[in-house]
Chain A
Amino acid sequence: MSDIDSSTVVKIAELARLAMDESQLEGYARELNAILELVEQMEAVDTASVDPLAHPIDATQPFREDEVSEPNQRELFQSIAPSVADGLYLVPKVIE
């Protein structure tokens, strides 16, 4: 069906936000193609009239009342963050 080359690897890595060296591209292309070859064995069966199955036991999404159920634990959660100040998460400047 499809053949992944180095430029496709660059595109997927960009979508997945994974930094990648030039030297890794060919290796990834080879491995991803091997996995796709396995995956494409699905083509052996005709599924035109089959409905997709999203959930193994046909459950539907449960609902609950829209009420506050969790206390605010900002300090606890920020205690494990890489970089915070004044209750905010710090990242590099986004807008110049």
Chain B
Amino acid sequence: MFQKSLLELAEGLRRKAYSSVELTTAFLDRIRQHDGVLNAFITVPEQRALADARAADQRLARGEGGVLTGIPVAHKDLFCTQGIKTSCGSRMLDSFVAPYNAAVIERFDAAGAVLLGKTNMDEFAMGSSNENSFYGPVRNPWDTDAVPGGSSGGSAAAVAARLCPAATGTDTGGSVRQPASLCGITGLKPTYGRISRWGMVAYASSLDQAGVLTRNAEDAALMLGVIAGFDPRDSTSVDRPVPDYVAGLSAPFPGLRIGLPKEYFGPGLDPEVARLVTQAVDELQRLGADVREISLPNTALAIPAYYVVAPAEASSNLARYDGVRFGHRCEDPQNLHDLYSRSRAEGFGAEVKRRIMIGTYALSAGYYDAYYLKAQKVRRLIRDDFARAFESVDVILGPTAPTPAFDIGAKADDPVTMYLSDIYTISANLAGLPGISVPCGFVAGRPVGFQVIGPHFEESRLLNLAHHYQQHTDWHLRAPNLD
């Protein structure tokens, strides 16, 4: 049952091949067996999971519920879960038991899904390797010497290792797509504003968006359909109808115009990754796609602009962690200033402090125009590049990450080199566009994915392409051997 997709599991529940309690117990056992090595989970609330499962079984017995009813799902540990620790991978929130549920959690609860656990992540979603967690690094199930990517590394590793059928994540600069690529699974970051961020711990508010990590495009479509939609509690939530993503999967595909940005295939791209992505493009061409080269001339400026915008917004968002109302507080504060600065110094890890520092500097008097304003202008150039490209192509395709998973520790001492892991994913966040990572092969046993970026609110187009590709390839069916 661990290899089944969400639709297959749902069908099994309806056929009574197993109950939700049996399904949930099986996944809990599997987590117990393998997570000691992988470290993909921060919290596994077994009693809560089994209570959810019993409630789902009752619903199913009455002939009620939907496709996700009774299906165990894991959530990145930055979605607030009422009564369950929501740590954000940080010592700062190690004691934080959320007093309410995030909108995404509410949606899964209403659908009758089982809350299987909270997954490990880079602290406050800042990182590309999941090494920046207070709870220790996550290991890549394909090769435990390798990182799983980040920041949704726990979710990606858990789905790849079949410790859960599907998981949620968030993507501010590639944090769903990059770990999906490195772990050989499907990862979708929808359009900015598509999913409510109510109850999602904020990192960089003009970029943050929730996403899903799944076995295949069909499961991603199913999950997105559950969580997409307007929520007045999130001021950036967009009030637009939610299409039937599952129905859109089987729409005809031939003739789709795919643009390959020449800047995404230049120096810095591992030649083996380039070969696998090109192979995937060939396959799509055989399926009827019309492939052409395009240019996104300001691509090289995306990472520089991101490392102003994101830290600046983070330095402001993370000002709330002051040791007064919730979160970590230092021992014996001498005065209020000492309380703030020692609580924060002890509660935050190295990368979070670095980004708060750089963001504070960029916003400080005399530097605003040179950094923040400049970055916002560059952001427009990047968004305009995409808008121009989408006048002649339907989607843009390239590698998700420049390399397969690297070894744990390989880039840990060099933040700037680590930042370059997100070189192909960050632009989509700056422009607010949806993107999906789809597995397309292996380099020395480590997975590789390609990324497809679409115009705003065209998630269906991305899922449709990924689904057609997965109907003709089997990379997404490969699972790591954990023994």
**Contact for B379 among A40, A41, A53, A81, CB less than 8 A:** A53
What are 25 contact pairs spanning A and B, CB under 8 A? A2-B367, A2-B370, A8-B361, A16-B360, A18-B345, A18-B348, A28-B357, A32-B358, A38-B303, A38-B416, A39-B358, A42-B304, A45-B378, A50-B377, A56-B206, A56-B207, A61-B235, A64-B232, A73-B99, A81-B324, A82-B323, A82-B326, A92-B336, A94-B335, A94-B336
The answer for the CA separation of A11 and B362 in the assembled complex, in Å, is 13
Asked if A80 contacts B99 (CB within 8 A), the reply is yes
Please give the distance in Å from A95's CB to the nearest CB on chain B.
Answer: 10
Please give the distance in Å from B17's CB to the nearest CB on chain A.
Answer: 41
Find the B residue at minimum CB distance from A83.
B329
How many residue pairs, one in A and one in B, have C-beta atoms under 8 Å apart?
Answer: 169
| Residues of chain A contacted by B335 (CB below 8 angstroms) | 92-94
B303-317: which residues lie under 8 A (CB-CB) from chain A?
303-305, 307-308, 315
Which 4 A-B pairs rank lowest in CB-CB distance, beginning with the nearest? A56-B432, A52-B376, A53-B380, A82-B329
The answer for the CA separation of A48 and B215 in the assembled complex, in Å, is 46
Write out, one digit per residue, whether chain B residues 338-370 have a CB within 8 A of any chain A CB (1) or not (0).
111110110010000110111011101001001
Asked if A16 contacts B308 (CB within 8 A), the reply is no
Find the A residue at minimum CB distance from B315.
A16
Please give the distance in Å from A18's CB to the nearest CB on chain B.
Answer: 5
The answer for the CA separation of A59 and B194 in the assembled complex, in Å, is 13
Please give the distance in Å from A33's CB to the nearest CB on chain B.
Answer: 10
Chain A contact patch, size range: 35 or more
Residue B470 lies at the interface, judged by CB distance under 8 Å to chain A: no
| Residues of chain A contacted by B361 (CB below 8 angstroms) | 4, 8, 12, 32
Write out, one digit per residue, whether chain A residues 16-36 have a CB within 8 A of any chain B CB (1) or not (0).
111110000000100110111
Residue A72 lies at the interface, judged by CB distance under 8 Å to chain B: no
| Residues of chain B contacted by A61 (CB below 8 angstroms) | 235
**Contact for A89 among B96, B325, B415, CB less than 8 A:** B325
The answer for the CA separation of A42 and B329 in the assembled complex, in Å, is 39
Residue A76 lies at the interface, judged by CB distance under 8 Å to chain B: yes
The answer for the CA separation of A1 and B305 in the assembled complex, in Å, is 15
Asked if B95 contacts A80 (CB within 8 A), the reply is yes
Majority secondary structure, A binding face = loop
**Contact for A62 among B96, B235, B383, CB less than 8 A:** B235
Find the A residue at minimum CB distance from B374.
A42
Asked if B304 contacts A41 (CB within 8 A), the reply is yes
Known contacts A12-B357, A42-B304, A91-B324; A54/B337 CB under 8 A: no
The answer for the CA separation of A64 and B231 in the assembled complex, in Å, is 12
Find the A residue at minimum CB distance from B379.
A53
Write out, one digit per residue, whether chain B residues 86-109 have a CB within 8 A of any chain A CB (1) or not (0).
000000000111010000000000
The answer for the CA separation of A9 and B342 in the assembled complex, in Å, is 16
Please give the distance in Å from A42's CB to the nearest CB on chain B.
Answer: 5
| Residues of chain B contacted by A20 (CB below 8 angstroms) | 345
| Residues of chain A contacted by B378 (CB below 8 angstroms) | 42, 45, 47, 50
Asked if A91 contacts B353 (CB within 8 A), the reply is no
**Contact for B364 among A15, A39, A76, A93, CB less than 8 A:** A15
Find the B residue at minimum CB distance from A53.
B380
**Contact for A53 among B325, B328, B377, CB less than 8 A:** B377
| Residues of chain B contacted by A81 (CB below 8 angstroms) | 324-326
Asked if B383 contacts A38 (CB within 8 A), the reply is no
Assuming A47-B378, A57-B456, A79-B99, what are 10 further A-B pairs, CB within 8 angstroms?
A16-B315, A18-B356, A31-B354, A34-B415, A35-B307, A56-B206, A57-B191, A62-B235, A82-B324, A92-B339
